[in-house]
C-alpha cells in the first residue's frame, strides 16, 4: 500500500518534474559550465579551455559597460520615481469613494497590454521625422521649447523616453498593491487620529506609512529586480539593434550575444547573465537588510 502510494505521488508529479528538470534545473547548472568554457564554438560544440576569460571579456567589452551604465541609470531613476508616483496615486484613489473602481480599472490597463505594441505608439508620439515633429514635440513647441529627437537624438532624451515608458508600464502593478495595502489599514487608527485633531501629513507619516511599509518594501525589491531585467520595452522604443542606438541593457546584451547578427556566443552570454544575477542578488540582499531595520511588521 505504502509503495503504491509513493508511486502514485511521483506519477502525478512526473510531468512537472520533466519540464522543470529539462528547462530549469539542468540549465541552471549548465549556465555555470558555459560561463567557464573558453573559446566555445557553437557550431562544433567544442571549447579550448576552462577559465575566467569569458568574464574578463564581457567586463572589458565597451558594449557591456554601456549596457551596465544604461541599466543602472534606468534603475536609479525609475524605481524611486515609480514607487513615489504609485504611492501618490494610491493615496488619492484611497481618499475618494465615487469613481474609485473606474479609476482603478483604467490605471490597471497598461498591465495587460502588449509591451511591444504600445511601445510602438510611444515611439510615434515622441519621434521626430522629416515631415512631422511628433505630438510631444508640438506640445513642447507650444511652450516655446525647441523640438528634440527623442528616439534617435541625444542620450538624455532617449533615456527620458525609456524611463517614462518604463514607469507607465510598471505603475499598474504598484498602484494595485499599494491600494489594497492602504485599504486594509484599520480605520480605527484614522478615527482616533482625527478626534485628536492630527494633521494630514502627520497621519500619513505616523500611521499610514508604517502600516503599508511591508508592501512598499515588497514593491521596492520587485521593482529593482524588474528594472534590472529591462529589455522588451527598450526594444519596443529603439528597435532590435540596441547597441547601435547606444541604449542596450544587460539583458539585451545577453540576448545579443546569444542570437542575431552579433550572436553565437553562449559562453559570453552566460558570463553576462551570471554577472547580472550577482548584481541583482546583491541589491536584493541589501534591500532585505535595510527593510529589516525599517519595516514595521504587524
Site residues (CB under 8 A) for other proteins, limited to 8-67: 8-10, 12-13, 15-17, 19-20, 22-28, 30-31, 34, 42
User: Distance of CA 108 to CAs 103, 174, 202, 217, Å?
Assistant: 9, 10, 30, 20
In the chain, the DSSP E strands lie at 37-38, 49-50
User: Cell for 206?
Assistant: 505616523
Asked if residue 231 binds other proteins (CB under 8 A), the reply is: yes
* Identified binder of other proteins from the candidate list 58, 67, 79, 89, rule CB under 8 A: 89
For the chain, report the end-to-end CA distance as a whole number of angstroms.
45
Site for other proteins in 174-193 (CB under 8 A): 176-177, 180
Q: Which is nearer to other proteins, 210 or 239 (CB)?
A: 239
Q: Which is nearer to other proteins, 48 or 132 (CB)?
A: 132
CB-based burial of residue 34 (10 Å sphere; 0-12 exposed, 13-18 middle, 19+ buried)?
buried
- What is the DSSP annotation of 241-289? -HHHHT---HHHHHHHHHSSTT---HHHHHHHHHHHHHHHHHHHHHHHH
Site for other proteins in 250-289 (CB under 8 A): 251, 254-255, 258-259, 266, 269-270, 273-274, 276-277, 280
Using CB under 8 A, which of the segments 47-55, 59-67, 86-94, 143-151 binds other proteins?
Answer: 86-94
Instruction: Work out how close the CB of 25 gets to other proteins at its nearest, in angstroms, rounded to a whole number.
Output: 7
User: Distance of CA 50 to CAs 34, 112, 277, 292, 297, Å?
Assistant: 9, 44, 21, 40, 48
* Identified binder of other proteins from the candidate list 62, 117, 143, 201, rule CB under 8 A: 117
Helix, strand or coil, per DSSP, at residue 61: coil
Instruction: Work out how close the CB of 176 gets to other proteins at its nearest, in angstroms, rounded to a whole number.
Output: 5
Site for other proteins in 133-162 (CB under 8 A): 133, 135, 138
How far apart CA 169 and CA 52 sit, in angstroms, is: 37
* Identified binder of other proteins from the candidate list 232, 243, 262, 291, rule CB under 8 A: 232
Asked if residue 225 binds other proteins (CB under 8 A), the reply is: yes
Cell 482625527 sits on residue: 194
* Identified binder of other proteins from the candidate list 53, 108, 160, 189, rule CB under 8 A: 108
CA-closest candidate to residue 159, choices 62, 75, 70: 70
Asked if residue 6 binds other proteins (CB under 8 A), the reply is: yes
Asked if residue 75 binds other proteins (CB under 8 A), the reply is: no
Asked if residue 104 binds other proteins (CB under 8 A), the reply is: yes
Instruction: Work out how close the CB of 151 gets to other proteins at its nearest, in angstroms, rounded to a whole number.
Output: 11
Q: Which is nearer to other proteins, 108 or 189 (CB)?
A: 108
How far apart CA 87 and CA 182 sit, in angstroms, is: 10
Q: Which is nearer to other proteins, 26 or 155 (CB)?
A: 26
Q: Is the dihedral of CA 175, 177, 183, 186 positive or negative?
A: negative
Amino acid at each position: 500500500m505504502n509503495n503504491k502510494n509513493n508511486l502514485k505521488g511521483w506519477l502525478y508529479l512526473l510531468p512537472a518534474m520533466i519540464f522543470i528538470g529539462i528547462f530549469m534545473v539542468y540549465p541552471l547548472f549548465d549556465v555555470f559550465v558555459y560561463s567557464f568554457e573558453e573559446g566555445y564554438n557553437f557550431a562544433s560544440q567544442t571549447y579550448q579551455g576552462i577559465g575566467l576569460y569569458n568574464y574578463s571579456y564581457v567586463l572589458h567589452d565597451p558594449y557591456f559597460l554601456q549596457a551596465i551604465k544604461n541599466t543602472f541609470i534606468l534603475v536609479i531613476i525609475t524605481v524611486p520615481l515609480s514607487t513615489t508616483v504609485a504611492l501618490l496615486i494610491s493615496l488619492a484613489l484611497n481618499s475618494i469613494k465615487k469613481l474609485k473602481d473606474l479609476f482603478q480599472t483604467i490605471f490597471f490597463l497598461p498591465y495587460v497590454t502588449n509591451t511591444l505594441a504600445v511601445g510602438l505608439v510611444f515611439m510615434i508620439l515622441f519621434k521626430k521625422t522629416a515631415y512631422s515633429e511628433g505630438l510631444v514635440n508640438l506640445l513642447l513647441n507650444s511652450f516655446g521649447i525647441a523640438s528634440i529627437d527623442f528616439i534617435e537624438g541625444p542620450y538624455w532624451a532617449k533615456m527620458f523616453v525609456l524611463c517614462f515608458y518604463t514607469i507607465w508600464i510598471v505603475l499598474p502593478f504598484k498602484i494595485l498593491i499599494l491600494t489594497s495595502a492602504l485599504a486594509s489599514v484599520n480605520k480605527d487608527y484614522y478615527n482616533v487620529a482625527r478626534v485628536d485633531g492630527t494633521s494630514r501629513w502627520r497621519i500619513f507619516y505616523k500611521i499610514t506609512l508604517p502600516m503599508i511599509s511591508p508592501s512598499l518594501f515588497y514593491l521596492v525589491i520587485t521593482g529593482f529586480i524588474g528594472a534590472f531585467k529591462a529589455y522588451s520595452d527598450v526594444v519596443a522604443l529603439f528597435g532590435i539593434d540596441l547597441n547601435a542606438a547606444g541604449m542596450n541593457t544587460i539583458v539585451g546584451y545577453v540576448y545579443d550575444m546569444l542570437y542575431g547578427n552579433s550572436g553565437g556566443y553562449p559562453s559570453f552570454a552566460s558570463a553576462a547573465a551570471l554577472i547580472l544575477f550577482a548584481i541583482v542578488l546583491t541589491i536584493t540582499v541589501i534591500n532585505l537588510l535595510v527593510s529589516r531595520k525599517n519595516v514595521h511588521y504587524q
